[in-house]
Amino acid sequence: MVGLSVGEKHFIQGGIAQDLRSDGRKRLTYRPIYVETGVIPQAHGSARVRLGATDVIASVKAELGKPSALQSDKGKIAIYVDCSPTAAPVFEGRGGEELSTELSIALQRCLLGGKSGAGAGIDPSSLVVVEGKVCWDLYIDGLVISSDGNLLDALAAAIKAALSNTGIPKVDLAAETTGDEQPEVNISDEEFLQFDTSGIPVIVTLTRVGRHYIVDATSEEESQMSSAVSISVNRKGHICGLTKRGGAGLDPSIILDMISVAKHVSEQLTIKLDSEIAAAEASEEES
């Protein structure tokens, strides 16, 4: 929790009302975003995203597994978030659990699409090696290293960057198998398959303070929020997920207005993030 005096609270609220926030930003401006890819060599893909003092890492690991009986033509994707006690002492022990589940569920909702897989950032059917027998299970883990607000947007950006950094080994069938036998596979260590990450949405969280809403709130600003809505928007401008993060009720017309603002903001964020990811990939190859 952030301890703020009455004066500080008024300063933050007044600044937001006048479209000049305490760090000099406007209401709808993001903090500079820094992306670094390939930070964890053991993972198939990883990225670190810094957004002001917020610092998160996402890693992608792939394992060969069996598709579930109900959806034999789809691989499995799981997203988990861990809040490290290094970020804040309250995350120690079970303290971070509530926030971790909240973030994991919000990310799953925003990035994985509906039950049938429609609107998903990654097509789960692209993970299948042999239908009904072998598929890739993708484990996406997020880690919060330092928290200064807007964790969800940062994690979504990190996951997007980590997935563009991910190379999944090419798999060849060793021999023809018949019937119910589990097929043998050869995992190539030279050829890698890349994901098409252009469809992965970005998440824009709009935090409502007073009568206005702001993007990319710091933890001081978040402590003054009346409610917040996280909206994930893909490149086509379609909404892929939305969660309201508690707080007071909102008028339906305000929510619709927030959605249109989020769409507008997401366009710039997507362009910015794409160029940052490309730059990070380039510098990784150089080194």
Partner 1 sequence: MAAKPGSVPTTYPPNPGPKTRPPIFKDNDLDWVRPDGRGFHQCRPAFFRTGAVNSASGSAYAEFGNTKVIVSVFGPRESKKAMMYSDTGRLNCNVSYTTFATPVRGQGSDHKEFSSMLHKSLEGAIMLETFPKTTVDVFALVLESGGSDLPVVISCASLALADAGIMMYDLVAAVSVSCLGKNLVIDPILEEESYQDGSLMLTCMPSRYEVTQLTFTGEWSTPDINEAMQLCLDACDKLGKVMRSCLKEAASASQE
Binding site for partner 1 (CB under 8 A): 1, 70, 98, 101-102, 105, 109, 113-116, 118-119, 227, 229, 234, 238-252, 255-256, 259-260
Min. distance of Cβ 226 from partner 1 in angstroms?
9
Nearer to partner 1, 102 or 281 (CB): 102
Amino acid sitting at position 276: E
Secondary structure of residue 99 in the 3-state scheme: helix
Min. distance of Cβ 95 from partner 1 in angstroms?
11
CA 108 to chain CA mean position, Å: 9
Query: Cβ(52)–Cβ(31) under 8 Å?
Result: yes
Min. distance of Cβ 231 from partner 1 in angstroms?
8
Task: Tell me how far CA of residue 165 lies from CA of 24, 125, 142, 144, in angstroms.
Answer: 33, 20, 15, 19
Min. distance of Cβ 251 from partner 1 in angstroms?
6
Nearer to partner 1, 7 or 249 (CB): 249
Nearer to partner 1, 173 or 250 (CB): 250
DSSP secondary-structure letter at 142?
A: E
Nearer to partner 1, 29 or 72 (CB): 72
Residue 175 structure tokens = 């021999």
Min. distance of Cβ 173 from partner 1 in angstroms?
26
Nearer to partner 1, 122 or 242 (CB): 242
Buried b (16+ CB within 10 A) or exposed e, 31-60: bebebbbbbbeebbbbbbbbbbebbbbbbb
